[in-house]
């Protein structure tokens, strides 16, 4: 199946903190959309993993957030903006295995300390900006072949 | 390896049936932390886990894991079972611990991700 993206497609999902019933729905819907547009499986999977990790971070750490996406014939840009506590030390948070997840999140299978590394690993361009007390913004760009 | 062989090796109870008899699993991974699964997985694989939360089914769907085996006879809640049915992800429950379940499958030729 060849890429069927003629023009820019963008959209947003609202993320609600601690809403684990719907956690992952935004990433799943985006995954389906990309598959329908003919994006190759491997790239769809990279987008899905990066988006899912970012979505889960917003749901675990923040009261609320937004996931914006913009699909062009060349790439997808995903931006996840949350109104969480912010990250004090981004360098430390980027280390594999480092986590500040609360116990209740660990009991649900989160807090491996692989979230941010997984986002970076699956993105062609990864940017993170955080202000303590205000929130965190993650931007990920994944190129199409 | 066919899922029916995995069910036999793990002496597993089937919680959600596969939608086809020709249900093949290429590899397997075992983890309780979902970001570990998101880091280390392969499509068309089996996930062996002790976690029975909704996040397990979501993670499987995101990365294309085909089936899930819960260890220690664990069974998820009805709502999670229903979600797995909807997503067509077969669920198994085995009495074995994660180490033994993984070892038995590896010995039978199912390699890691």
CB-CB under 8 Å, B35 with A48: no
CB-CB under 8 Å, A48 with B33: no
- The two beta strands, A75-82 and B13-16, are unpaired
CA angle, residues A124, A126, A130, in degrees to nearest 5? 175
How many domains does chain B divide into?
A: 1
Residue B36 in contact with partner chain A when CB distance is under 8 A: yes
Give the residues of chain A that fall short of pLDDT 50: none
Say how far apart CA A137 and CA A140 lie, in whole Å: 10
Chain centre distance of CA B16: 11
**Verdict on whether the full-model pTM lies above 0.80:** yes
Report if residue B112 sits inside a domain.
no
Q: What is the pLDDT of residues B46-57, one digit of tens each?
A: 999 999 999 999
Q: Can you list the domains of chain A with their CATH numbers?
A: 9-143 (3.30.565.10)
CATH classification of the domain holding B45:
3.40.1390.20
Report if residue B99 sits inside a domain.
yes
Report if residue B113 sits inside a domain.
no
pLDDT grade for B26, boundaries at 50, 70 and 90:
very high
Q: Quick one: pLDDT at residue A14?
A: 98
Q: Quick one: pLDDT at residue A75?
A: 98
pLDDT grade for B41, boundaries at 50, 70 and 90:
confident
What residue numbers bound the domain in which B69 lies? 3-107
Say how far apart CA A102 and CA B80 lie, in whole Å: 23
Of A20, A21, A118, the CB nearest to B35: A118
Of B36, B51, B62, the CB nearest to A24: B62
Q: What is the pLDDT of residues B8-25, one digit of tens each?
A: 999 999 999 999 999 999
Report if residue B62 sits inside a domain.
yes
Show residues of chain A in contact with B54, CB under 8 Å.
20-21, 23
Q: Quick one: pLDDT at residue B65?
A: 96
CB-CB under 8 Å, A27 with B63: no
């Amino acid at each position: 199946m060849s890429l069927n993206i003629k023009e820019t497609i963008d959209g947003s999902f609202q993320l609600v903190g601690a809403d684990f019933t719907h956690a992952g729905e935004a990433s799943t819907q985006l995954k389906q959309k990309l598959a329908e547009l003919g994006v190759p499986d491997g790239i769809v999977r990279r987008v899905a993993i990066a988006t899912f990790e970012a979505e889960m971070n917003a749901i675990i750490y923040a009261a609320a957030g937004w996931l914006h996406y913009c699909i062009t014939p060349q790439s997808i840009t995903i931006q996840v903006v949350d109104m969480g506590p912010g990250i004090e030390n981004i360098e430390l948070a980027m280390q594999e295995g480092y986590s500040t997840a609360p116990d209740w999140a660990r009991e649900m299978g989160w807090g491996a300390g692989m979230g941010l590394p997984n986002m970076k690993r699956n993105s062609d361009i990864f940017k993170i900006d955080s202000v303590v007390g205000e929130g965190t913004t993650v931007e990920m760009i994944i190129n199409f072949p | 390896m066919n899922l029916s062989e995995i069910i036999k090796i793990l002496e597993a109870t089937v919680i959600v049936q596969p939608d086809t008899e020709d249900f093949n699993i290429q590899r397997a991974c075992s983890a309780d932390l979902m970001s570990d699964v998101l880091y280390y997985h392969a499509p068309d694989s089996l996930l062996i886990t002790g976690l029975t939360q909704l996040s397990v089914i979501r993670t499987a769907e995101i990365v294309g894991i085909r089936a899930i085996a819960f260890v220690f006879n664990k069974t998820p809640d009805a709502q999670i079972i229903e979600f797995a049915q909807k997503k067509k992800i077969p669920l198994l429950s085995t009495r074995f611990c994660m180490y033994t379940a993984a070892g038995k499958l590896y010995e039978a030729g199912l390699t890691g991700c």
